[in-house]
Structure 1
Amino acid sequence: MRNLFGTDGVRGQANALLTPDFVMRLGRAVGQQLLRTTSHMPPRVLIGRDTRRSGAMLETALISGLTAVGVHATSAGVVPTPAIAYLVREGRYDLGIVLSASHNPAPDNGIKLIGGDGYKFPDEYEAEIERLLNEAPEPFPYPAPDQIGLWELSAREAEQYLLYLLHLMREMTGEREPLRGMHIAVDCANGAASAFAPVLLSELGAKVSAVACEPNGDNINEGCGSTHIDHLQRTVLETGAHLGVAFDGDADRALFCDENAEPVDGDAIMTLWALTRQQQGSLQPPLVVATEMSNLGMEKRLQAEGITLLRTKVGDRYVAEAMRAHHALIGGEQSGHLIFAERATTGDGLITMLETLNLALRLQRPFSEIAHPFEPYPQKLITIPVQDKHAWQTHPEIQAQIARVQALLAGRGRLNIRASGTENAIRIMVEAETPALVDEALQPLVDAVRNALA
């Protein structure tokens, strides 16, 4: 069983869990596993990071561990997480590693592993790396000096990813500047999208109002980005933009708002995309993969058009696995992690933006008229920080409240309670026919969890 790796790799606070010594040893274990499983030598690894203060420090430690056991490492610098997934696949690397904590605050960081096929590693692979880390002998038997791996810093990787995105949009639309005449507000969360999204949109002809594009190492996700959509909403209203898009710190997710500053989440974009493809006769199979958190209104709207909604556990790795198993063209999460299987192997906020803009261009209507394709059920999601995020499963008072909620919502809504995969927290989601029913179901359960575990 894995203890170190969560649903999105290793997460923790810099210089707490993620110390340079620990990250060096983790890099060493990753390198050992590569040496065991790679058919050619030496293995090649591509590394990217977001804009956190700790990123360069931890990257240096990671490179030390990898190269010490004979792995060659290339640093792409600050790039979106999905850029590494694309570049690993295209550049014939054996592994991609991203240093990022996604939407978490700046003191946190993380390490996620991406296989040579562009997909995140399976649990078993990460478990073996964890075993190697825990069982490493001291002193460690390092190889001879002439077996040490090489390292290089490469700017061409980031440029290649940007060129791919430009080519993708021009291929979809058949125009060099398809966004000419459009005014787009963009919030880059002071993260990895900062050097990509405004340039990409401008190159495609758009007028761009960009905010939160000045990372300083400490301001990533701070009051901005996809977890603070109000920042984008204000920008849209102040600038008169036709629509707005907000990324998280590593740009693997994107959320939107229309010209009236009404928010548009991942459920809405997936539904709009799937309905459009279904009407064109090109949604094969007629299937959308989403998670337990996606709105019931989305499911009913898709069903009405003959489209099946397949739900998975929360986490884009589970969405990706289900998409591969069922050959789905689209899948994702309400939070904006969307996977377009024809374009990418993982959630990509910039591709999500381009696919959404392509829909807006094709439908030739104000974004507010197309971006709300179903009537959502009232829904509330509460995150409760706790010491032990698994204790709720056996706590009698919490279990009694869960039984009460399930009986109350029978046939009228849904309850989802789970341990966070990235934080020491419990997430509780209630969805029901009316806001009053949501509150009646949710609040006593939240109180019980806080009283027992917070």
Structure 2
Amino acid sequence: MERPIRLQGTDGIRAVVHTISENRGNSSPVRRFLQEGKLTPEFVELYGFAFAKYIQRIRSPRELSVVVGWDPRDPQKILSDAMIRGLQKAGATVLSIGIVPTPLVPMYQVASNAEAGVMLTASHNPPDQNGIKLFAGHFGIKFFPQDDIALTDLIYQLDYRQLSTLSLSGRIQDCASAATELFHEFHLDVRNHLISDALALRDHILLVDHANGSLRGFAADVFQKIGFGQVIDVYEGIDREINRDCGAAELEGVSYIDPQQVQPGGIYAENLVIKRLFEIGLDYQSESRSGGKIVSAALFDGDGDRFFRLDYDPYQDRVSVVSGDEIAYHIAAFLSKQKKIASAADLFVITVESDLQTGVAAAALGRKPVVVGVGDKWLLLQAILSRATNAQPDSGHKDLIHKFENRPCQENLIPIERWLEELPICEEFSSYVGGEETGHTVTAGYLEDKSANRKLIFAGNGLKSALNLYAATEFAEHRSSPEFWRLLHRPFFPGFKKTLYVYYTDKSKLKFESPIWEDLHQTLIRETEERFGSRIAVSLVHKIEEPGMLYLEVIDKTEEKNVQAAIFIRNSGTEDKTGVYLRGAEHDRDNLIFIGEQLRRRLLENMINENHPYLKAAVLFLDGKKIDESAISRHRLLQEMTKSGLIDEAYQPTELGLRLID
């Protein structure tokens, strides 16, 4: 089997957890990860050791300190203990902060002047998976692809049998209490949220959905201290699996939820937060119409770096979803209104997954829209590049800026660290907004390190995003009219946005100019030209952050030459799936869906990993046969088959599902 040059995806690694030791002879933990897709304690220990050695090599610290946190899906601490062992064997001092949301790892890293941070989490992925996110430097920056490649190469050079004999030379410190205190102080600090009038929040009944994850006990407490009128932690005292029938990831791509969808047999029948939102919303329907109450919910993912908002609409008797694009726009609009004068630093950075109209709407605010590849590291990079450019860089810095603008996948995090060390922390950073459709929103945060130096931190932070959104959407003049709900959930005129997934793919097949890439390329051009006709031109766009992505722009041939639509195919960086992304105008919906379905069929025919255990289970299910639930999560299987279009909401095979059997 050919080994990939990079083990990591968009943000670290994720895989199904396997904690039972087995005698596999010469089978190394790395081989099991690559061939079987299993995350073992031995692999995690090896990964931690290699990470510490890499940081020691590139930063040469006098003493290496690494912050380590984890989410609740590892209650016996099997993987977190393995990570800590690996770091200690490399001589690192481990600052253990326990079960925490992901953004607290870089926050505590910056505050304690630690050299690096590790978060053990699979984020929004199903509960049978876990993963590793890495941070480095005194600003808590995530690894860039070149760092991932260098770390992967180091991992390949290690022998776990030798590693297992090493002693624990590093120390471990319990920093959980100090980290928890920092988290609360950070979010209550007026520099880190936009709330200026807490009295306006007294009319809110806020339900909290922490996805049974890392924000349990954190989010509700902060909301109460900030001043929300009534805060209800729906899952308090309820033991459920992380991300199961809850959380922000459950609602990706959803705009509205109708009452029948929470009834028995409905798609959200097991979602306690949505059910409670309808119940409480109906109880306060009259007061909500008069502007006296707002009944909403804050939804996070398992590790707390994503956020969606739900609201009960008293006029439509439905629940409306405010997702990543709208969240970023609302915050940008609020900051622009406060600032009044636009500047070159007023960036609005979104990813290719966003609605095309999001950038258009941001430009109307006087902001400069920038579209990057998927991953919050790219949102951060644009903030730094903009600040470095506006700081009148010398010739050396200009060369670095040019490199990162033109080949970011070939650079590591050291130059970024140096820029941040040299750039003054100024007001221009405060106006920056970056956002992903999936709910990561990045704005500047501030804290002090242990030497009382003011430090800047950029990180995807679900709770910070929630506080900022609630501040940005207090349209007091509209509270007693349907206009309030329209502005809240449709702050700009949206385009068409849909993603078609194929799960259980062999993602290694989708590489630039590979046979499958070329086949999809030709299919995409042919179908697009046939459906749209002579009124358009097509342009293949190379996205430098994701070289393997196949991205096609559909350009109107009028004088304006506007981008009318975008159709692209990319591998997920966090799950075993490949997506066909359709973005454009609402009037092109039918054309885009037709093209997307043709491409999805090609993926199903050419990219399926026939050895994937969940694919085998899917075929058995479609064929009406029994599946082995001791090895397969039935809930995960049905959820992924539904998202793939293989079965409908009643779990009956679709035409696409029957095609898979054939």
TM-score, normalised with respect to structure 2: 0.64
How far did residue 288 of structure 1 move? 0.4
Who is 1:12 aligned against? Answer: 15
One of 584, 597, 602 as aligned partner of 1:448: 602
Q: Return the alpha-carbon distance in structure 1 between the equivalents of residues 76 and 527 of structure 2.
A: 43
Is residue 279 of structure 2 the alignment partner of residue 235 of structure 1? no
- Contact residue 308 and residue 323 of structure 2 kept, 8 A: yes
Amino acid at match of 2:526: R
> How do residues 182-193 of structure 1 correspond to structure 2 at under 5 angstroms?
182-193=204-215
One of 295, 303, 311 as aligned partner of 1:258: 311
- Contact residue 82 and residue 347 of structure 1 kept, 8 A: yes
Aligned Cα root-mean-square deviation (Å): 2.6
| Runs of at least 5 residues in structure 1 that lack an aligned partner in the other structure | none
One of 380, 384, 402 as aligned partner of 1:320: 380
3-state DSSP of counterpart to 2:141: coil
One of 13, 23, 28 as aligned partner of 2:49: 28
How far did residue 173 of structure 1 move? 3.6
How far did residue 424 of structure 1 move? 2.2
Question: Which shows bigger deviation, 133-142 or 412-421?
Answer: 133-142
One of 214, 233, 245 as aligned partner of 1:210: 233
How far did residue 110 of structure 1 move? 0.7
Who is 1:413 aligned against? Answer: 565
Who is 1:248 aligned against? Answer: 301
- Contact residue 68 and residue 142 of structure 1 kept, 8 A: no
Amino acid at match of 1:31: A
CA distance 1:357–1:45, change in 2 (3 Å)? same
One of 355, 370, 388 as aligned partner of 2:487: 370
> How do residues 136-147 of structure 1 correspond to structure 2 at under 5 angstroms?
136=158, 139-140=162-163, 147=169
How far did residue 178 of structure 1 move? 6.2
One of 503, 510, 523 as aligned partner of 1:385: 503
Question: Which shows bigger deviation, 29-38 or 351-360?
Answer: 29-38
CA distance 1:213–1:119, change in 2 (3 Å)? farther
Deviations 1:248-272 (A, max 9, x none): 0001010112332211111111112
- Contact residue 405 and residue 442 of structure 1 kept, 8 A: no
CA distance 1:129–1:452, change in 2 (3 Å)? closer
How far did residue 205 of structure 1 move? 2.5
Q: Return the alpha-carbon distance in structure 2 between the equivalents of residues 210 and 163 of structure 1.
A: 21
CA distance 1:144–1:272, change in 2 (3 Å)? closer
How far did residue 431 of structure 1 move? 2.1
One of 388, 406, 425 as aligned partner of 2:577: 425
Question: Which shows bigger deviation, 405-414 or 197-206?
Answer: 405-414
3-state DSSP of counterpart to 2:203: coil
Amino acid at match of 1:384: V
How far did residue 283 of structure 1 move? 5.0
Who is 1:302 aligned against? Answer: 362
- Contact residue 275 and residue 305 of structure 1 kept, 8 A: yes
Is residue 404 of structure 2 the alignment partner of residue 346 of structure 1? no
3-state DSSP of counterpart to 1:193: coil
How far did residue 180 of structure 1 move? 2.5
3-state DSSP of counterpart to 1:180: helix
Rg larger in structure:
2
Who is 2:347 aligned against? Answer: 287
How far did residue 111 of structure 1 move? 0.6
Amino acid at match of 2:575: E
Q: Return the alpha-carbon distance in structure 1 between the equivalents of residues 76 and 592 of structure 2.
A: 41
How far did residue 11 of structure 1 move? 1.3
- Contact residue 332 and residue 338 of structure 1 kept, 8 A: yes
Amino acid at match of 2:470: L
CA distance 1:2–1:382, change in 2 (3 Å)? same
3-state DSSP of counterpart to 2:231: strand
3-state DSSP of counterpart to 1:185: strand
How far did residue 361 of structure 1 move? 3.7
Question: Which shows bigger deviation, 65-74 or 274-283?
Answer: 274-283
Is residue 206 of structure 2 the alignment partner of residue 84 of structure 1? no
How far did residue 403 of structure 1 move? 1.3
CA distance 1:397–1:77, change in 2 (3 Å)? same
Who is 1:122 aligned against? Answer: 144
Question: Which shows bigger deviation, 259-268 or 165-174?
Answer: 165-174
Identity percentage over the alignment? 26
- Contact residue 293 and residue 416 of structure 1 kept, 8 A: no
Q: Return the alpha-carbon distance in structure 2 between the equivalents of residues 188 and 267 of structure 1.
A: 20
Amino acid at match of 1:209: I
How far did residue 304 of structure 1 move? 2.8
- Contact residue 5 and residue 153 of structure 2 kept, 8 A: no
- Contact residue 524 and residue 595 of structure 2 kept, 8 A: no
Q: Return the alpha-carbon distance in structure 2 between the equivalents of residues 144 and 190 of structure 1.
A: 36
- Contact residue 251 and residue 349 of structure 1 kept, 8 A: yes
Amino acid at match of 1:452: N
| Runs of at least 5 residues in structure 2 that lack an aligned partner in the other structure | 19-36, 252-267, 282-293, 314-318, 388-428, 447-456, 533-553, 557-563, 609-662
Q: Return the alpha-carbon distance in structure 1 between the equivalents of residues 565 and 147 of structure 2.
A: 38
How far did residue 129 of structure 1 move? 2.4
3-state DSSP of counterpart to 1:98: strand
TM-score, normalised with respect to structure 1: 0.91
Amino acid at match of 2:39: L
Amino acid at match of 2:241: N
Q: Return the alpha-carbon distance in structure 1 between the equivalents of residues 527 and 180 of structure 2.
A: 49
One of 585, 590, 594 as aligned partner of 1:436: 590
Deviations 1:72-100 (A, max 9, x none): 10211111101111111111111110000
Q: Return the alpha-carbon distance in structure 1 between the equivalents of residues 203 and 191 of structure 2.
A: 16
3-state DSSP of counterpart to 1:189: coil
CA distance 1:171–1:114, change in 2 (3 Å)? closer
- Contact residue 55 and residue 99 of structure 1 kept, 8 A: no
Runs of 4+ in 1 over 6 A off after TM superposition: 141-145
How far did residue 399 of structure 1 move? 3.0
Q: Return the alpha-carbon distance in structure 2 between the equivalents of residues 99 and 428 of structure 1.
A: 29
Who is 1:402 aligned against? Answer: 524
How far did residue 179 of structure 1 move? 2.9
Amino acid at match of 1:386: Y
Amino acid at match of 1:150: I
Q: Return the alpha-carbon distance in structure 2 between the equivalents of residues 178 and 333 of structure 1.
A: 28
- Contact residue 499 and residue 581 of structure 2 kept, 8 A: yes
- Contact residue 77 and residue 155 of structure 1 kept, 8 A: no
- Contact residue 191 and residue 213 of structure 1 kept, 8 A: no
CA distance 1:417–1:339, change in 2 (3 Å)? same
Who is 2:201 aligned against? Answer: 179
Amino acid at match of 1:32: K
- Contact residue 180 and residue 204 of structure 1 kept, 8 A: no
